[in-house]
Amino acid sequence: MTTQTRPFEAEVAQVLHLVTHSLYSHKEIFLRELISNASDACDKLRFQSLSEPDLLAGQPELRIDVSFDRDARTVTITDTGIGMSRDEVIANIGSIASSGTRRFLEALEGGQKADARLIGQFGVGFYSAFVVADQVTVLTRQAGAEPEAGIQWQSDGRGEYTIADAVVAERGTTVILHLKADEDEFLDAWKLRSLIGKYSDHIAFPIRMPKQAMESEDGDNNPADAAIEWEVVNDASALWAKPKSEISDEDYQNFYKSLGHDFNDAAAWSHNRVEGNQSFTTLLYIPSQPPFDLMMGGRDERKGLKLYIKRVFVMDAAEELLPNYLRFVRGVVDSDDLPLNVSREILQHNRQLERIKGACVKRVLDLIEKLSRDEPEKFAAFLKAFGNTLKEGIVEDHGNRERIAKLLRFASTQGEADAQTISLDDYIGRMAGDQTTIWYITADGYKAAAGSPQLEAFRAKNIEVLLMFDRIDEWMLGHLNEYAGKPLKNVAKGELPLEEAEKQQQEQATQAAAPLLEKLKSLLGERVADVRVSARLTDSPSCLALSDHEMAPHLARLLREAGQAVPDSKPTLEINPQHALLKKIEGERDEARAGDLAAVLLEQAEIAAGAPLADPAAFVQRMNRLLVD
């Protein structure tokens, strides 16, 4: 017998400290997480046994047993799944096997409520055992190994664990929880059974409890007793395989909560069976709130759908089944036609999968459209949670671009302050008869967009402008050139379309301001590409004008802050010659003071456009000189 005492890795030790000292609500989640792990172990063995049937020798049944011993104060969860080797025990329990532990810590340190229900969302559900136990023992034997190759793992969760060789009679894993003194509620058969029904009823393997414990709370409930008769206490069938008429809304919601490690109800779901040349079933859910793994991981931390083939679990996060912009969707796909030896490489080049993926995308967009029509409050909550993620589809999914665009909502110059409730269809419905363009402006916040000087001419003409201030908007709009046959155009970019009379007025104003334009070009020198009279301004003295394909200053700033290379460009300054500040510059004879005024004119325009000042200290000094003169 070889016994070792080993320390947990630092981050696991942090998690255990939080679990034992901070996680106080929803303690019952430990049972869901341990049963979920047991189910995964059975799934893996069932899949592996397709090519290695000898792994099931002597124990063909895949099951999960839950029992308790009131005298010993233990709760035991046993599975006949794939089991673990010594190295796997160390990797899966004693060290950080994925970024899940780190993200869990970041979530709590970022101000999230210290709640046990968070733990399962980061792939570290085993540690929830220490919410209710002051010692945990794991006995495990890998499928195909001899009884003498078993492993015993034990820890009190205080920084280290012991691992030893052990004789384990059957393959699989047993987790024994030695309950804390104040956790007597879990030494109750009906309590455990109700939790199994609440969280794990639709686990596709039988979950058993000793029958005598169900009938009497007075008898011995030691599962080692050969006389014990076991009773299946869960439904033990794949929910998605049942007819929809046999599934209640509560069933759907309970399955979602188990599937997504979520305590909240799903906002909507879609359950469909496709028959024909290719047959498959999909059960897809839209969460009501962003999953923590989506919030913490972003685009690089993907969570795909669970893939089954003829009810056999194959892949936990099949990213190929949905595009990246729908990564918030949770659910199951069960195909009758894909090969059971499917791999990620095969999935990437499989025509059958493209059909399944197309069906999944259609179902999800159908769900979102139904929310927008029938449940506006839920739809508003959905957009708040996932609107920016959905916008990525404008770039990624050309075939559904217009359908996605129809679902988006924006603020506008004619809407409620800061309320993103205006659809592109709403905008088009309010357009004047001669208007052919959907006008918008992008900025780094609502106030910056609503207060932009580039809007002044549009307000004067009562033309509605969409205000787009999410960071993704500028990137998205580079790929959304038109909607419903109407072009989208940024009010700050390019030349504004003018009627003939307006063109003549513009030409006259430019001619009249020629000396002022030359003076400003001389004063500003290399800081600007050009200075011209603006058709956009009615009240403000100046603004920046961009070319049609030039990046907005606020986006360029964000990319530079993120370490991205952004091409340098000089701004074009547009001026309002009728403004008092321009009159003052025009009449200023002191060269230094005129230079200060011209520089402040440019820097005001840069600030309003969200561009960083090249020299903030110099700007402050100039402002101070002008204020005291």
Q: Which domains does the chain have, with CATH numbers?
A: 3-237 (3.30.565.10), 244-385 (3.30.230.80), 409-491 (3.40.50.11260), 500-629 (1.20.120.790)
**Percentage of residues of the chain with pLDDT beyond 90:** 56
Q: In this structure, are residues 532 and 572 in contact, taking their beta carbons and an 8 Å threshold?
A: yes
487 HSE (CA, 13 A, CB side): 7
Which pLDDT band, with edges at 50, 70 and 90, does 540 fall under? very high
Helix-strand-coil split of the chain, %, nearest 5: 45, 20, 35
DSSP-derived 3-state class of residue 120: helix
Residue 314 has a pLDDT of: 73
Q: How high is the pLDDT of residue 219? A: 46
pLDDT given for residue 345 in this prediction: 58
Tokens at 484, concatenated: 């419903």
Residue owning tokens 């430019």: 510
Mean pLDDT of the region 478-505: 90
362 or 226, which is more confident: 362
Q: Tell me what the pLDDT averaged over the chain comes to.
A: 85
Residue 310, pLDDT score = 78
| pLDDT attached to residue 222 | 57
**Type and span of the H or E element at 66:** strand 64-69
Confidence (pLDDT) at 479: 92
Main-chain dihedrals φ then ψ at residue 281, nearest 5 degrees: -120, 140
Question: From CA 42, how far away is CA 558, in angstroms rounded?
Answer: 47
Q: What is the DSSP letter of 326?
A: G
Quote the pLDDT of residue 549.
76
Cβ atoms < 10 Å from Cβ of 43: 22
What pLDDT, on a 0 to 100 scale, did the predictor assign at position 299? 47
| CB-based contacts of 93, cutoff 8 Å, min separation 6 | 126, 138, 153, 161
User: Residue 496's pLDDT is what?
Assistant: 84
Q: Does the pLDDT of residue 600 top 60, yes or no? A: yes
What 3-state class would DSSP assign to 620? helix
Segment 163-221, tens digit of pLDDT: 999 999 999 999 999 999 989 999 999 999 999 987 788 788 999 999 865 555 544 55
**What average pLDDT does range 554-563 have in this prediction?**
76
pLDDT band at 21 (very low <50, low <70, confident <90, very high): low
Q: Decide the pairing of beta strands 280-287 and 172-179.
A: unpaired
Could you tell me the sign of the dihedral formed by the alpha carbons of 232, 233, 237, 243, in that order? positive
| pTM for the whole structure | 0.73
Q: How confident is the model at residue 120 (pLDDT cuts 50, 70, 90)?
A: very low
Q: Is the pLDDT of residue 104 over 60?
A: no
Higher pLDDT, 287 or 291: 287
Cα(404)–Cα(397) distance, integer angstroms? 9
Amino acid found at 525? G
Give the type of residue at 33.
E
Q: Specify the pairing of strand 133-141 against strand 230-232.
A: unpaired
Asked if residues 491 and 464 have their Cβ atoms less than 8 Å apart, the reply is no
pLDDT category of residue 223 using cuts at 50, 70 and 90: low
Task: Give the DSSP H or E segment for 76.
Answer: strand 74-79
DSSP for 292-318? HHHHHHGGGS---EEEEETTEEEEEEE
- Minimum mean pLDDT among 150-159, 515-524, 553-562, 576-585: which range? 553-562
Whole-Å CA distances, 114 to 49, 149, 233, 313:
40, 39, 31, 33
Please determine, for residue 449, whether its predicted confidence score (pLDDT) is greater than 60.
yes
Token pair of 143 as six digits: 């499928």
pLDDT at 33 over 60: yes
Q: Is the pLDDT of residue 586 over 50?
A: yes
Mean pLDDT (whole number) for 474-482:
92
**pLDDT number for residue 202:** 75
Question: Could you please report the per-residue DSSP string of 378-420?
Answer: HHHHHHHHHHHHHHHHHHH-GGGHHHHHHH--BEETTS-TT--
Main-chain phi, psi angles of 273, to 5 degrees: -120, 125
pLDDT greater than 60 at residue 68? yes
pLDDT at 213: 54
* Least confident among 23-37, 378-392, 469-483: 23-37
Strands (E), 289-402: 305-309, 312-318, 330-335
Sheet containing 150-155: order of strands: 3-7, 160-166, 150-155, 133-141, 172-179, 74-79, 64-69, 207-210, 230-232
User: Which amino acid is it at 587?
Assistant: G
Task: Kindly state the average pLDDT of the residues 34-59.
Answer: 88
Predicted pLDDT at 100: 47
What is the pLDDT averaged over residues 349-359? 84
Angle of CA points 283, 288, 293, to nearest 5°: 85
Which residues are 489's β-sheet partners?
439
CB of 411 within 8 A of CB of 420?
Answer: yes
Q: What crossing angle do the helices spanning 514-524 and 580-587 adopt, rounded to 10°?
A: 80
Question: Which is higher by pLDDT, 7 or 621?
Answer: 621
**What distance in Å separates the CA atoms of residue 517 and residue 532, rounded to the nearest whole number?**
7
Whether residue 530 contacts residue 518, with contact meaning beta carbons closer than 8 Å, is answered with: no
| Confidence (pLDDT) at 295 | 47
Tokens 């033990």 found at: 236
Q: Considering all CA atoms of the chain, what is the largest pairwise distance in Å, rounded to the nearest integer?
A: 107
For 526, the 3-state DSSP assignment is helix
Q: Count Cβ atoms within 10 A of the Cβ of residue 12 and give its class: 0-12 exposed, 13-18 middle, 19 or more buried.
A: buried
What was the pLDDT predicted at 174? 97
Instruction: Reduce the DSSP state of residue 521 to 3 states and report it.
Output: helix
More confident residue, 498 or 21: 498
Q: Between these two residues, 205 and 342, which has the higher pLDDT value?
A: 205
Q: What is the mean pLDDT of residues 618-627?
A: 93
| pLDDT band, very low/low/confident/very high, at 364 (cuts 50, 70, 90) | very high
Task: Give the closest residue to 77 by CA, choosing from 201, 183, 175, 205.
Answer: 175
> Rounded mean pLDDT of 475-497?
91
Model pLDDT, residue 122 = 42
Q: What is the pLDDT of residue 181?
A: 92
pLDDT for 119 beyond 70: no
Give mean pLDDT, residues 365-373: 96
> Is the Cβ–Cβ distance between 122 and 183 less than 8 Å?
no
Asked if pLDDT for residue 52 goes beyond 70, the answer is: yes
Under DSSP, is residue 576 helix (H, G, I), strand (E, B) or coil?
coil
